[in-house]
Amino acid sequence: MKKLLVPIKMLAILAIGSQALTSCVSLRPPDREFRAVAEHPYMGGDEELIPDADATPVAKEPVFQSIKCGAPLDKSLLSRPTGPYRIGPGDILDIEVAENKDTRTKSTVMPDGMLYFNTARGVNVKGKTVREISTLLSHQLKEDYVNPVVTVNVSKADSQRFWMLGQVAKPGTYPITKPTTLVDAISTGSGLLSVRDSVNVNNPESADLERAAIIRDGEVLPVNFDSLIREGDMSQNIYVNAGDYIFIPSLTASSIYVLGHVNNPGPISYERDLTMLAAVAGAGGPKPEAVVTKALIIRGGHHNPEVAVVNFRDIMKGFDSDLRLEAGDIIWMPRSNWSNVIKYTGAVLNTAAQAIAVQEGLGVLGATGGAGISISAGG
Protein backbone atom coordinates (compact mmCIF):
# COMPACT_ATOMS: atom_id res chain seq x y z
CA MET A 1 0.00 0.00 0.00
CA LYS A 2 1.22 3.47 -0.79
CA LYS A 3 1.71 5.22 2.51
CA LEU A 4 0.26 8.56 3.01
CA LEU A 5 0.35 12.00 4.32
CA VAL A 6 1.26 15.17 5.99
CA PRO A 7 2.77 18.00 7.85
CA ILE A 8 2.25 17.86 11.47
CA LYS A 9 -0.48 20.37 11.89
CA MET A 10 -3.19 18.18 10.70
CA LEU A 11 -6.60 16.94 11.67
CA ALA A 12 -8.41 17.60 14.49
CA ILE A 13 -11.81 18.54 15.84
CA LEU A 14 -15.06 17.75 14.14
CA ALA A 15 -18.65 18.68 14.96
CA ILE A 16 -21.55 16.54 13.72
CA GLY A 17 -25.06 17.80 14.48
CA SER A 18 -25.38 18.39 18.19
CA GLN A 19 -22.79 15.74 19.05
CA ALA A 20 -19.16 16.71 19.75
CA LEU A 21 -16.58 14.82 17.75
CA THR A 22 -12.85 14.98 18.51
CA SER A 23 -10.06 13.40 16.54
CA CYS A 24 -6.50 12.79 17.72
CA VAL A 25 -3.80 11.89 15.25
CA SER A 26 -0.64 10.20 16.48
CA LEU A 27 2.28 8.57 14.75
CA ARG A 28 2.93 4.99 15.82
CA PRO A 29 5.82 2.62 15.16
CA PRO A 30 5.18 -0.13 12.60
CA ASP A 31 3.79 -2.86 14.84
CA ARG A 32 1.21 -4.47 12.57
CA GLU A 33 2.07 -8.05 13.52
CA PHE A 34 -0.88 -10.44 13.34
CA ARG A 35 -1.43 -12.86 16.17
CA ALA A 36 -3.53 -15.97 15.82
CA VAL A 37 -7.10 -15.06 16.68
CA ALA A 38 -7.39 -17.77 19.32
CA GLU A 39 -4.32 -16.37 21.12
CA HIS A 40 -5.64 -12.82 21.38
CA PRO A 41 -7.63 -11.92 24.54
CA TYR A 42 -10.29 -9.24 24.19
CA MET A 43 -11.86 -7.33 27.00
CA GLY A 44 -15.54 -6.53 26.64
CA GLY A 45 -17.10 -4.61 29.51
CA ASP A 46 -16.27 -6.43 32.77
CA GLU A 47 -15.65 -9.86 31.26
CA GLU A 48 -12.82 -11.25 29.21
CA LEU A 49 -13.83 -12.42 25.77
CA ILE A 50 -11.53 -14.96 24.18
CA PRO A 51 -12.57 -15.99 20.68
CA ASP A 52 -12.70 -19.73 20.12
CA ALA A 53 -11.55 -20.36 16.56
CA ASP A 54 -13.10 -23.83 16.55
CA ALA A 55 -16.48 -22.56 17.72
CA THR A 56 -16.70 -19.64 15.28
CA PRO A 57 -18.94 -20.40 12.27
CA VAL A 58 -17.64 -20.02 8.72
CA ALA A 59 -17.26 -16.39 7.61
CA LYS A 60 -20.16 -14.84 5.73
CA GLU A 61 -20.86 -11.58 3.88
CA PRO A 62 -21.86 -8.58 6.01
CA VAL A 63 -25.43 -7.30 5.63
CA PHE A 64 -25.18 -3.72 4.40
CA GLN A 65 -27.63 -0.86 4.16
CA SER A 66 -27.08 2.02 1.74
CA ILE A 67 -27.09 5.49 3.22
CA LYS A 68 -26.61 9.00 1.93
CA CYS A 69 -24.60 11.31 4.15
CA GLY A 70 -22.97 14.69 3.82
CA ALA A 71 -24.22 18.21 3.21
CA PRO A 72 -24.51 19.74 -0.27
CA LEU A 73 -21.47 21.59 -1.57
CA ASP A 74 -21.35 25.23 -0.47
CA LYS A 75 -21.49 27.25 -3.70
CA SER A 76 -19.23 29.93 -2.21
CA LEU A 77 -16.35 27.46 -2.57
CA LEU A 78 -16.63 27.96 -6.34
CA SER A 79 -15.91 31.68 -6.08
CA ARG A 80 -12.52 32.87 -7.24
CA PRO A 81 -10.45 34.09 -4.26
CA THR A 82 -9.86 37.83 -4.16
CA GLY A 83 -7.51 40.10 -2.26
CA PRO A 84 -3.73 40.56 -2.14
CA TYR A 85 -1.22 37.81 -1.48
CA ARG A 86 -0.44 37.29 2.19
CA ILE A 87 3.18 36.62 3.07
CA GLY A 88 4.18 33.58 5.10
CA PRO A 89 7.21 31.53 6.20
CA GLY A 90 9.35 30.38 3.28
CA ASP A 91 8.42 33.21 0.94
CA ILE A 92 11.39 34.99 -0.64
CA LEU A 93 11.07 38.77 -0.96
CA ASP A 94 13.01 41.13 -3.23
CA ILE A 95 13.66 44.27 -1.13
CA GLU A 96 15.35 47.58 -1.94
CA VAL A 97 15.55 51.06 -0.47
CA ALA A 98 14.57 53.34 -3.37
CA GLU A 99 17.49 55.19 -5.00
CA ASN A 100 19.96 52.96 -3.12
CA LYS A 101 20.65 50.10 -5.50
CA ASP A 102 23.35 48.65 -3.29
CA THR A 103 20.65 47.83 -0.71
CA ARG A 104 18.79 45.47 -3.00
CA THR A 105 18.67 41.95 -1.64
CA LYS A 106 16.54 38.84 -1.44
CA SER A 107 15.38 37.86 2.00
CA THR A 108 13.56 34.73 3.12
CA VAL A 109 10.76 34.89 5.68
CA MET A 110 11.80 32.78 8.67
CA PRO A 111 9.69 29.88 10.05
CA ASP A 112 8.50 32.15 12.87
CA GLY A 113 7.34 34.77 10.35
CA MET A 114 10.21 37.18 10.99
CA LEU A 115 11.92 39.12 8.17
CA TYR A 116 15.38 40.67 8.42
CA PHE A 117 16.63 43.38 6.05
CA ASN A 118 19.51 45.84 6.18
CA THR A 119 19.71 47.61 9.55
CA ALA A 120 16.04 47.11 10.34
CA ARG A 121 15.20 45.06 13.37
CA GLY A 122 13.32 41.85 12.73
CA VAL A 123 9.78 42.43 11.45
CA ASN A 124 6.98 39.92 11.86
CA VAL A 125 5.49 39.80 8.36
CA LYS A 126 3.35 36.67 8.60
CA GLY A 127 -0.06 37.35 7.06
CA LYS A 128 0.88 40.81 5.83
CA THR A 129 0.80 42.19 2.28
CA VAL A 130 3.89 43.53 0.49
CA ARG A 131 2.50 47.05 0.87
CA GLU A 132 2.19 46.63 4.63
CA ILE A 133 5.72 45.21 4.83
CA SER A 134 7.06 48.15 2.82
CA THR A 135 5.53 50.57 5.33
CA LEU A 136 6.96 48.68 8.31
CA LEU A 137 10.48 48.58 6.86
CA SER A 138 10.38 52.24 5.83
CA HIS A 139 9.49 53.19 9.40
CA GLN A 140 12.32 51.11 10.88
CA LEU A 141 14.96 52.49 8.48
CA LYS A 142 14.16 56.19 8.94
CA GLU A 143 17.06 56.66 11.36
CA ASP A 144 19.57 55.39 8.77
CA TYR A 145 18.10 56.86 5.57
CA VAL A 146 16.47 60.19 4.69
CA ASN A 147 12.77 59.62 4.08
CA PRO A 148 13.33 55.98 3.02
CA VAL A 149 10.92 54.37 0.61
CA VAL A 150 11.29 50.59 0.65
CA THR A 151 10.06 48.58 -2.32
CA VAL A 152 9.03 44.97 -1.64
CA ASN A 153 8.15 42.34 -4.22
CA VAL A 154 7.54 38.61 -3.99
CA SER A 155 10.47 36.83 -5.62
CA LYS A 156 9.23 33.33 -4.80
CA ALA A 157 5.89 32.41 -3.25
CA ASP A 158 6.36 29.30 -1.15
CA SER A 159 4.24 29.64 1.98
CA GLN A 160 0.72 29.09 0.64
CA ARG A 161 0.73 25.37 -0.15
CA PHE A 162 -1.62 22.45 -0.63
CA TRP A 163 -0.99 18.71 -0.54
CA MET A 164 -1.68 16.49 -3.56
CA LEU A 165 -1.52 12.83 -2.56
CA GLY A 166 -2.37 9.35 -3.75
CA GLN A 167 -2.91 8.37 -7.39
CA VAL A 168 -1.18 11.29 -9.02
CA ALA A 169 2.03 11.19 -11.01
CA LYS A 170 3.86 13.56 -8.66
CA PRO A 171 2.43 13.51 -5.14
CA GLY A 172 3.68 16.15 -2.76
CA THR A 173 3.13 19.71 -1.62
CA TYR A 174 2.67 22.58 -4.08
CA PRO A 175 2.62 26.37 -3.70
CA ILE A 176 -0.46 28.42 -4.56
CA THR A 177 0.85 31.36 -6.57
CA LYS A 178 -2.49 32.23 -8.19
CA PRO A 179 -6.15 31.18 -7.81
CA THR A 180 -6.11 27.39 -8.24
CA THR A 181 -9.10 25.12 -8.88
CA LEU A 182 -9.26 21.45 -7.99
CA VAL A 183 -8.66 20.45 -11.62
CA ASP A 184 -5.71 22.87 -11.72
CA ALA A 185 -4.33 21.23 -8.59
CA ILE A 186 -4.56 17.72 -10.06
CA SER A 187 -2.82 18.95 -13.19
CA THR A 188 -0.11 20.50 -11.03
CA GLY A 189 0.54 17.00 -9.70
CA SER A 190 0.97 15.91 -13.35
CA GLY A 191 -2.46 14.31 -13.49
CA LEU A 192 -4.00 11.08 -12.27
CA LEU A 193 -2.21 7.80 -12.67
CA SER A 194 -3.87 5.18 -14.85
CA VAL A 195 -3.22 1.51 -15.35
CA ARG A 196 -1.03 2.57 -18.27
CA ASP A 197 0.82 5.11 -16.08
CA SER A 198 -0.83 7.93 -17.97
CA VAL A 199 -0.50 11.40 -16.48
CA ASN A 200 -3.58 12.80 -18.18
CA VAL A 201 -6.27 14.13 -15.85
CA ASN A 202 -8.86 12.47 -18.08
CA ASN A 203 -7.45 8.96 -17.58
CA PRO A 204 -8.59 7.93 -14.10
CA GLU A 205 -8.52 4.13 -14.59
CA SER A 206 -6.59 3.35 -11.41
CA ALA A 207 -7.92 6.18 -9.23
CA ASP A 208 -10.73 5.48 -6.76
CA LEU A 209 -12.67 8.69 -7.35
CA GLU A 210 -15.58 7.62 -5.13
CA ARG A 211 -13.29 7.63 -2.10
CA ALA A 212 -11.25 10.68 -3.12
CA ALA A 213 -11.42 13.56 -0.68
CA ILE A 214 -10.30 17.13 -0.11
CA ILE A 215 -9.76 17.93 3.56
CA ARG A 216 -9.86 21.51 4.85
CA ASP A 217 -9.48 22.58 8.47
CA GLY A 218 -10.28 19.08 9.72
CA GLU A 219 -13.37 18.60 7.55
CA VAL A 220 -13.91 16.58 4.38
CA LEU A 221 -15.54 18.87 1.83
CA PRO A 222 -18.49 17.23 -0.02
CA VAL A 223 -16.84 17.33 -3.45
CA ASN A 224 -17.86 14.61 -5.91
CA PHE A 225 -14.57 13.75 -7.61
CA ASP A 226 -16.25 11.15 -9.81
CA SER A 227 -18.65 13.72 -11.30
CA LEU A 228 -15.87 16.27 -11.69
CA ILE A 229 -13.29 14.05 -13.40
CA ARG A 230 -15.39 11.54 -15.32
CA GLU A 231 -18.34 13.73 -16.25
CA GLY A 232 -16.71 17.17 -16.34
CA ASP A 233 -19.15 18.58 -13.77
CA MET A 234 -17.66 22.01 -13.08
CA SER A 235 -20.09 22.58 -10.21
CA GLN A 236 -17.61 20.45 -8.21
CA ASN A 237 -14.49 22.35 -9.31
CA ILE A 238 -13.87 24.34 -6.14
CA TYR A 239 -10.90 26.59 -5.48
CA VAL A 240 -8.07 25.14 -3.40
CA ASN A 241 -6.96 26.90 -0.21
CA ALA A 242 -3.58 26.91 1.50
CA GLY A 243 -3.38 23.93 3.84
CA ASP A 244 -5.81 21.74 1.85
CA TYR A 245 -5.12 18.02 1.56
CA ILE A 246 -6.27 16.34 -1.64
CA PHE A 247 -6.17 12.56 -1.50
CA ILE A 248 -7.07 10.22 -4.37
CA PRO A 249 -6.76 6.55 -3.33
CA SER A 250 -6.09 3.62 -5.63
CA LEU A 251 -8.70 1.20 -6.93
CA THR A 252 -6.16 -1.54 -6.32
CA ALA A 253 -5.50 -0.60 -2.69
CA SER A 254 -4.64 -3.69 -0.67
CA SER A 255 -5.52 -2.46 2.80
CA ILE A 256 -8.44 -2.04 5.12
CA TYR A 257 -8.56 0.37 8.07
CA VAL A 258 -9.44 -0.58 11.64
CA LEU A 259 -10.19 2.65 13.51
CA GLY A 260 -11.94 3.93 16.57
CA HIS A 261 -11.56 2.45 20.04
CA VAL A 262 -8.99 -0.26 19.32
CA ASN A 263 -5.48 -0.57 20.72
CA ASN A 264 -3.57 0.14 17.50
CA PRO A 265 -5.86 1.94 15.03
CA GLY A 266 -4.60 2.16 11.47
CA PRO A 267 -4.12 0.20 8.23
CA ILE A 268 -4.11 -3.58 8.00
CA SER A 269 -2.77 -5.30 4.88
CA TYR A 270 -5.57 -6.98 3.00
CA GLU A 271 -5.19 -10.64 2.12
CA ARG A 272 -7.67 -12.93 0.47
CA ASP A 273 -10.37 -14.18 2.85
CA LEU A 274 -9.44 -11.63 5.53
CA THR A 275 -12.19 -11.53 8.15
CA MET A 276 -13.33 -8.96 10.67
CA LEU A 277 -12.06 -11.03 13.59
CA ALA A 278 -8.55 -11.31 12.13
CA ALA A 279 -8.47 -7.63 11.12
CA VAL A 280 -9.45 -6.39 14.60
CA ALA A 281 -6.88 -8.77 16.11
CA GLY A 282 -4.28 -7.22 13.81
CA ALA A 283 -5.19 -3.81 15.27
CA GLY A 284 -4.58 -5.08 18.80
CA GLY A 285 -8.23 -5.81 19.60
CA PRO A 286 -10.88 -3.49 21.03
CA LYS A 287 -10.15 -1.50 24.16
CA PRO A 288 -11.93 -2.58 27.36
CA GLU A 289 -14.56 0.19 27.18
CA ALA A 290 -15.32 -0.22 23.46
CA VAL A 291 -18.95 -0.85 22.54
CA VAL A 292 -18.31 -4.09 20.67
CA THR A 293 -22.03 -4.69 20.14
CA LYS A 294 -22.37 -1.71 17.74
CA ALA A 295 -19.28 -1.85 15.55
CA LEU A 296 -19.45 -0.70 11.92
CA ILE A 297 -18.12 -1.95 8.63
CA ILE A 298 -18.24 0.81 6.00
CA ARG A 299 -17.80 0.09 2.32
CA GLY A 300 -17.89 2.41 -0.69
CA GLY A 301 -17.42 6.11 -1.29
CA HIS A 302 -18.16 9.21 0.76
CA HIS A 303 -21.43 10.11 -0.96
CA ASN A 304 -23.33 6.81 -1.00
CA PRO A 305 -21.59 4.43 1.37
CA GLU A 306 -22.90 1.10 2.59
CA VAL A 307 -22.75 0.36 6.31
CA ALA A 308 -23.17 -2.85 8.29
CA VAL A 309 -23.86 -2.65 12.03
CA VAL A 310 -22.14 -5.61 13.66
CA ASN A 311 -22.41 -7.25 17.08
CA PHE A 312 -18.72 -8.02 17.35
CA ARG A 313 -19.21 -9.53 20.82
CA ASP A 314 -21.25 -12.35 19.31
CA ILE A 315 -18.55 -12.98 16.69
CA MET A 316 -15.85 -13.09 19.37
CA LYS A 317 -17.85 -15.53 21.48
CA GLY A 318 -18.59 -17.72 18.48
CA PHE A 319 -22.34 -17.06 18.64
CA ASP A 320 -22.37 -15.55 15.15
CA SER A 321 -20.41 -16.04 11.94
CA ASP A 322 -17.26 -14.07 11.28
CA LEU A 323 -17.52 -11.60 8.38
CA ARG A 324 -15.54 -11.46 5.16
CA LEU A 325 -13.94 -8.13 4.25
CA GLU A 326 -13.00 -6.44 1.00
CA ALA A 327 -10.03 -4.20 0.28
CA GLY A 328 -10.89 -0.62 1.17
CA ASP A 329 -13.33 -1.52 3.98
CA ILE A 330 -13.32 0.55 7.16
CA ILE A 331 -13.99 -1.13 10.50
CA TRP A 332 -15.03 1.26 13.25
CA MET A 333 -15.15 0.31 16.93
CA PRO A 334 -17.24 2.84 18.93
CA ARG A 335 -16.34 4.06 22.38
CA SER A 336 -19.93 4.65 23.47
CA ASN A 337 -23.42 4.02 22.19
CA TRP A 338 -24.64 5.96 19.18
CA SER A 339 -28.20 6.36 17.93
CA ASN A 340 -28.26 7.88 14.43
CA VAL A 341 -26.44 5.62 11.98
CA ILE A 342 -26.43 8.25 9.19
CA LYS A 343 -24.86 11.01 11.30
CA TYR A 344 -22.50 8.62 12.98
CA THR A 345 -21.33 7.08 9.70
CA GLY A 346 -20.71 10.55 8.33
CA ALA A 347 -18.55 11.34 11.36
CA VAL A 348 -16.61 8.11 10.94
CA LEU A 349 -16.02 8.71 7.21
CA ASN A 350 -14.77 12.23 7.97
CA THR A 351 -12.28 10.92 10.52
CA ALA A 352 -11.26 7.91 8.41
CA ALA A 353 -10.50 10.11 5.40
CA GLN A 354 -8.12 12.12 7.56
CA ALA A 355 -6.44 9.02 8.97
CA ILE A 356 -5.83 7.62 5.50
CA ALA A 357 -4.55 10.98 4.28
CA VAL A 358 -2.16 11.16 7.25
CA GLN A 359 -0.83 7.72 6.38
CA GLU A 360 -0.26 8.71 2.75
CA GLY A 361 1.51 11.88 3.85
CA LEU A 362 3.88 9.90 6.04
CA GLY A 363 4.88 7.96 2.97
CA VAL A 364 5.45 11.11 0.93
CA LEU A 365 7.61 12.50 3.75
CA GLY A 366 9.58 9.26 3.91
CA ALA A 367 8.41 8.52 7.45
CA THR A 368 7.48 5.12 8.81
CA GLY A 369 4.73 4.05 11.15
CA GLY A 370 0.97 4.33 11.21
CA ALA A 371 -1.62 7.00 11.80
CA GLY A 372 -3.66 6.27 14.88
CA ILE A 373 -7.10 7.83 15.25
CA SER A 374 -9.69 7.72 17.99
CA ILE A 375 -12.80 9.82 18.38
CA SER A 376 -15.79 10.27 20.59
CA ALA A 377 -18.91 11.15 18.67
CA GLY A 378 -21.70 10.02 20.85
CA GLY A 379 -20.17 6.62 20.20
Chain segment 162-178, per-residue pLDDT in tens: 999 888 888 889 999 88
pLDDT at 227 over 60: yes
pLDDT of residue 16: 26
Residue ranges of the chain assigned to CATH 3.10.560.10: 13-71+253-376
- Report the chain's mean pLDDT, rounded to a whole number: 79
pLDDT of residue 6: 36
pLDDT at 297 over 50: yes
Question: Alpha-carbon distance 296 to 305, whole Å?
Answer: 12
pLDDT of residue 56: 52
pLDDT at 61 over 70: yes
Name the least confident of 21-35, 100-114, 146-160: 21-35
pLDDT of residue 364: 55
pLDDT band at 266 (very low <50, low <70, confident <90, very high): confident
185-189, 192-196, 293-297, 359-363: which has the highest mean pLDDT? 293-297
Q: Which fold has domain 13-71+253-376?
A: Outer membrane lipoprotein wza fold like (3.10.560)
Name the least confident of 55-64, 116-125, 203-212, 214-223: 203-212
- CA neighbor of 7 nearest in space, from 141, 133, 117, 111: 111
Select the more confidently predicted residue: 168 or 371: 168
Select the more confidently predicted residue: 16 or 340: 340
pLDDT at 373 over 80: no
pLDDT of residue 54: 53
Q: What's the rounded mean pLDDT across residues 135-149? A: 93
- Thinking of the domain 92-156, which architecture would CATH place it in? 2-Layer Sandwich (3.30)
Q: What's the rounded mean pLDDT across residues 91-109? A: 94
pLDDT at 204 over 60: no
pLDDT band at 261 (very low <50, low <70, confident <90, very high): very high
Residue ranges of the chain assigned to CATH 3.30.1950.10: 92-156
